[in-house]
Amino acid sequence: MIYETFRNINSTLGIVFFGAYVLKKKNLSKKIFVVAKIIVLLIIVNLLQKFPNVSNYSQFSFKNNSSFTESSLIFFPKNSLLLLENNNYYQKLSKSLCGLDKKIINLSYDFVIPYICNNSKKKFAAMSVGFFSKVNPEEYKRIFKNNILLDDEILITSKDINSSKIKKIFEVDLPSNLIWFSMYDDYSKKIFGYVKS
């Protein structure tokens, strides 16, 4: 929510400055320009009065209750709170990945995965298989068409792949609020790890 709030503030400021520049270049009458400035000023005052509830209609509050826990993973800032379900998910992934000395090919929507271990070696990551197929067609063909992984690679995806060339070494259930991480694969509700057979 904090990220969303500042993202909205940032985009609002961009629109305001660009709008002011365009209005000034149009050589509009001073009355119209003054009215536009007043409207923009009222909008900014209104947003600041609601801060940090700019991006939603619910009251923003930190809840330190039994639904949350402090994460021990290095990726998350110290003293940050995660939902228990999310923390368990990242702990399971950490146990499955961190003992392996392999380059991570992360083709899931979960951008955190390559960073949850101290010794993470990210080979490449893409926010979806569709995007990966466009920016790196040869690697896409090698991995998804031919199911070929190199000895030092581990593939992370939400796609359940059945092939004799690669083997599944883990599958972790996605938390209910992170199911969208597998949207390209019909919301499979899991993250899978594969290595060369």
Of 127, 147, 158, the closest CA to residue 195 belongs to 147
The per-residue b/e assignment along 11-29, b for 16 or more CB within 10 angstroms, e otherwise, is eeeeeeeeeeeeeeeeeee
Q: What is the pLDDT of residue 172?
A: 94
Number of domains in the chain: 2
Q: Are residues 158 and 107 in the same domain?
A: yes
What is the rounded average pLDDT of the residues 133-162?
88
Residue 172 resides in a domain: yes
Q: Which domain holds residue 42?
A: 2-50
38 with 87, same domain: the answer is no
At 7-55, the pLDDT tens digits run 777 887 888 788 778 777 777 677 777 787 788 788 878 777 766 665 5
Looking at the fold, whether 97 and 11 belong to one and the same domain comes out as no
In a domain, 26, yes or no: yes
Q: Which residue has the higher pLDDT, 175 or 182?
A: 175
Residues 41, 99 within the same domain:
no
Global confidence as pTM: 0.65
**Residues 113 and 179 reside in one and the same domain:** yes
Regarding whether 45 and 98 lie in a shared domain, the answer is: no
Q: Are residues 190 and 145 in the same domain?
A: yes
Do 44 and 102 reside in the same domain of the chain? no
Together in a domain, 168 and 105: yes
Residue 75 lies in a domain: no
What's residue 63's pLDDT? Answer: 59
Residue type, 60: F
Structure tokens belonging to residue 69: 């826990």
Same structural domain for residues 105 and 192? yes
Looking at the predicted structure, is the pLDDT value of residue 128 above 70?
Answer: no
Q: Both 89 and 186 in a single domain?
A: yes
The answer as to whether 76 is a domain residue is no
Lowest-pLDDT choice from 2-16, 44-58, 63-77, 94-108:
44-58
Residue 119 placed within a domain: yes
